[in-house]
Structure formats: C-alpha cells, structure tokens
Amino acid sequence: MALPILFPLFFVNPLSESSFSHLSASVHRDVAPLVKPSRLRSWLLYEDESILVFNKPGWLVCHPSKNGPWSSLVGAVRESFQLDQVYLVGRLDRETSGLILLAKNKTAGRLWQKSLEQKKVKRSYWAILTGELSEQTRVKGYLGKDPDSPVFVKQRVIGNTNKSKYAESEFFPLFAKNGYTLCSVVTKTGRKHQIRVHAQSMGFPLVGEKLYGLNEQYYLEFCRDGWREEWLAELGMKRQALHARTFGFVEDGPSFVAPLPSDFLSFLNDRLDAESNCEEEFAEKSRIWTEAQFLGE
C-alpha cells in the first residue's frame, strides 16, 4: 500500500518579521492577496470539536507569514475561529491546492500524526502532466539538493549519498489527450517537492511548473518580479497543476475528498477537451486505483 507524505506535527505560534531574515532570495516576492473571512469559510470542508479540514487554494501559504495573520492559512484560521493554537497535520506548497487538516488541540494533533506514522491515514494527489503518459509508472531513487541550481530549495534525482534521501512515487494516468495527462499520484515517502521532481525526472513536468519545468528562469523571475501574463501561453497555468485530492483513514475513520478548483477544471476542459462533468468520471477511476494501492501494500 502506498504511503502518504508524512510530515511532523507543527505547533504554530505567531512569527515576528525577524523570523524570516534568514530566508534566501528563493522565497516568493510575489505577494498573494489576503484571505477574506467569508472566503476562508467557503473553503471549509469539515469541522468538529477537534479538527478543521480545508480545501486550500493554490495561491495561499500554510504557515504564518510576515505579511500578517490573514496572509496564511494558519493565521487566518487562528483569527477567524478564535484559536490560540492550531496544529498543522501535513503541509502543502503554496501553489499546491487541496486538502489540509488543522487540529484544534494537541491531543487531536497527536492522534492524527500517530495515525500518519502508523500508515493508517493516507493522502493522494491529482496532477496534470505535460506529455501523454500511457501507463502506470513508478519512480524511485534518491533526492537531494540540486548543486547546479541557484535556487537553494531545488531538489533533483541524485545518487545515494549521506545527504540524499530515498523517495518513491506512483503515477496512474486517468486521462490523456492533446499532449497532457491527468494523473492520480500516491507516494511512499514524503520528500521535499517529491512529486514535482519525479514528474520532471520522467520527462513529464507538471503543467504550470516554474521550478521543475522547462526553465527554472521562470521561477527566478517570478521570485524577483511576480507573475507575468505572457508566461501563461507556455506554462498553461499560473501555478503548478498539483491538487491534494484525498486525505484520511483507509479504514475505520474519517476520510475527505477535495473538489477540483476552477483553474484545474478549466485546464482539463480547455486543453484536454474533457467533458464538463469529467471530475465525477475521473474520481471513480482514481478511487478504485488509489484504494487498491492503499489496501494492497
């Protein structure tokens, strides 16, 4: 059974501006809009006395930002739900949309984290790849810092060294047409940028990928100057086409599904000529494959 990306449990406190002084120039200079309280509530998929589950948009950072509480998911949740503390279980890159879970108390946070470590909780993704992938593909090997890139955070597939980490991902094509592929993806490890690196290593980079795509110069210029509309013709989307689709217990517990955001659906409709109701069709195909991966390990 394929494992989710496993992340530590984060106890989130407000960060001062000085907390960010060590960050490299690779941090986005493009300033995302602030979260509106009404929009935050519209992203909420589930709430009970111990957890909150959101369908995060693909422009919002998870962790507290120097731009104030309403500039990050964690900050906005603390303000809107009047919580002194929240525990982030798992995390997503800024440009990755989809399911993210926040615990309201330490007990709930530890329960979900323990379930992740015991492989009782799983995560799957949907990704749109550049190129038509014809069959299920497993990518495995070692990831480490890219020594040839000026971007400090950039990873790449390298040999087995004392600084590299083993990574494994499984890609399953749901629909391919017009030079693109919608894939369901599960991971057995949780490395930085793992799916993005593996997609590039296959020769099928994610649509919208600035760092692990055709030219990392897109990323460098984006960090320096922000988004340019003329890039859309080549990149296809303003962000990487990666969506955290499912998250939850495989058996005997809650499980959640995040509907696709409008930019993802628009690309499928416009570039792949997918039907307007394609999400339902692809969801069933993905569910069957994903469950087989999870239960068959």
Q: Which residues are the active-site residues?
A: 93
Structure token digits, residue 70 = 């309403």
Report the b/e string of 148-159 with b at 16+ CB within 10 A: ebebeebbbbbe
As a whole number of angstroms, the distance between CA 135 and CA 1 comes to 19
128 Cβ contact list (under 8 Å, min separation 6): 180, 181, 182, 183, 206, 207, 236, 237, 241, 264, 267, 268
Structure token digits, residue 43 = 């992203």
Of 235, 204, 283, 249, the C-alpha closest to 95 is 235
Of 242, 240, 272, the C-alpha closest to 131 is 272
With residue 278 as reference, give the H or E element that holds it.
helix 278-296
The C-alpha R_g of the chain, in whole angstroms, comes to 18
Of 114, 125, 164, the C-alpha closest to 144 is 164
- Decide if 26 contacts 151 (C-beta within 8 A): yes
As a whole number of angstroms, the distance between CA 187 and CA 147 comes to 25
